[in-house]
């Protein structure tokens, strides 16, 4: 992947709460202690020099890979375990999306203008502090995100911008991955954004493979595993034309997205604030919103 490319958390993203299967009894949610657990669960497969050279040479036979450097092609080759054909398919998808970042704006200024509404609320940002593994840290403060009122494109643009910054920072320091910390304190159903989550899953899988090392959900309340409100695009009865009608959905957020997440749910951990301090940062400065 390019050094200017990223990037969930991350941002992730306020709705990342849906990435973890709900506990049987929401009122007794168990938090996985990370003190003895791995702090990063996803890694791109390693290829030896010969396998890398073969994969990149095979990819170069397809003229559509020309816009990317050999280093960038190597990342796609690793993600596809050296399968040049599959790697080329992902490269083509990525380049097509990258032309205008999926409709978010082709340049940084356009992206930031689109992200402004969410950026002003500090919903998600790249923290100055790095974790115990020296990974750039994306922080998402879910309570600042209102799923019923947000501009979806603004949320998507902020995600892309922050992830790009985080991955560029990782590459500059000789790393590959970033950590996403999602602060779920004081969060309710209005902060759960399933449409955004589904977009995020697709984006991470297709355009940022293995770049997000782990998503740590900090102090998730039981309400996140109960029925959620979804915003419907149809007008509400007796309301002005164009006014979305919120409707109660009798299902858990997990049931709506588990098919899309699949095996990638392993990259998510439910943790406590103490785990953040003692394991993820282990004596280093913790981002202010999580202290």
Predicted pLDDT of residue 10: 37
User: Which whole-number Å values give the CA distances from 290 to 84, 86, 167, 276, in the listed order?
Assistant: 42, 40, 21, 8
Hey, which bits of the chain come out as E strands?
A: 124-130, 136-141, 178-183, 212-218, 227-235, 244-252, 268-271
Residue 57 is assigned to a structural domain of this protein: no
User: Which whole-number Å values give the CA distances from 11 to 46, 95, 126, 213, 233, in the listed order?
Assistant: 25, 21, 9, 12, 25
**CB burial string 197-220: b at 16+ within 10 A, e below:** bbbbbebbbebbbbbbbbbbbbbb
- The pLDDT tens digits of the residues spanning 54-88 come to 999 999 999 999 999 998 899 899 989 999 999 99
Query: What is d(CA 129, CA 141) in angstroms, rounded to the nearest whole number?
Result: 16
Residue 263 is assigned to a structural domain of this protein: yes
Element (H, E) at 166: helix 152-172
Predicted pLDDT of residue 82: 94
Residue 4 is assigned to a structural domain of this protein: no
Q: Which residue has the higher pLDDT, 144 or 220?
A: 144
Q: Which residue has the higher pLDDT, 206 or 52?
A: 52
Q: Which domain holds residue 174?
A: 14-42+116-290
> What 3-state DSSP class applies to 264?
helix
Closest CA to 5 of 58, 75, 63: 75
Mean pLDDT of 182-201: 86
- Report the number of distinct structural domains present in the chain: 1
Residue 81 is assigned to a structural domain of this protein: no
| Both structure tokens of 49 | 């020099």
Give the domain CATH number at 185: 3.40.525.10
Residue 130 is assigned to a structural domain of this protein: yes
pTM: 0.75
Q: Where are the alpha helices (DSSP H) in 173-232?
A: 194-207
> At 204, is the pLDDT very low, low, confident or very high (cuts 50, 70, 90)?
confident
Residue 79 is assigned to a structural domain of this protein: no
Residue 173 is assigned to a structural domain of this protein: yes
Residue 198 is assigned to a structural domain of this protein: yes
């Amino acid at each position: 992947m390019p050094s200017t490319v990223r990037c969930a958390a991350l941002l992730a993203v306020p709705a990342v709460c849906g990435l973890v299967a709900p506990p049987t009894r929401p009122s007794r949610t168990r938090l996985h202690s990370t003190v003895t657990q791995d702090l990063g669960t996803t890694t791109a497969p390693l290829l030896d020099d010969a396998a890398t050279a073969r994969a990149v040479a095979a990819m170069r036979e397809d003229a559509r890979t020309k816009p990317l450097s050999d280093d960038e092609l190597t990342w796609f080759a690793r993600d596809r375990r050296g399968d040049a054909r599959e790697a080329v398919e992902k490269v083509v998808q990525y380049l097509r999306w990258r032309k205008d970042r999926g409709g978010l704006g082709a340049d940084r200024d356009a992206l930031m203008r689109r992200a402004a509404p969410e950026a002003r609320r500090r919903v998600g940002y790249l923290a100055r502090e790095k974790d115990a593994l020296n990974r750039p840290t994306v922080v998402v403060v879910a309570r600042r995100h209102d799923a019923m009122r947000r501009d979806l494109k603004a949320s998507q643009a902020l995600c892309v911008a922050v992830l790009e910054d985080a991955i560029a920072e990782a590459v500059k320091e000789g790393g590959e991955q970033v950590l996403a910390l999602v602060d779920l304190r004081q969060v309710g159903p209005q902060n759960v954004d399933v449409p955004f989550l589904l977009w995020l899953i697709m984006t991470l899988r297709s355009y940022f493979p293995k770049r997000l090392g782990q998503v740590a959900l900090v102090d998730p309340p039981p309400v996140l595993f109960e029925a959620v409100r979804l915003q419907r695009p149809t007008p509400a009865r007796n309301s002005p034309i164009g006014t979305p009608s919120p409707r109660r959905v009798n299902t858990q957020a997990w049931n709506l997205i588990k098919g899309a997440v699949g095996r990638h749910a392993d990259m998510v951990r439910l943790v406590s604030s103490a785990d953040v301090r003692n394991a993820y940062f282990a004596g280093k400065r913790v981002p202010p919103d999580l202290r």
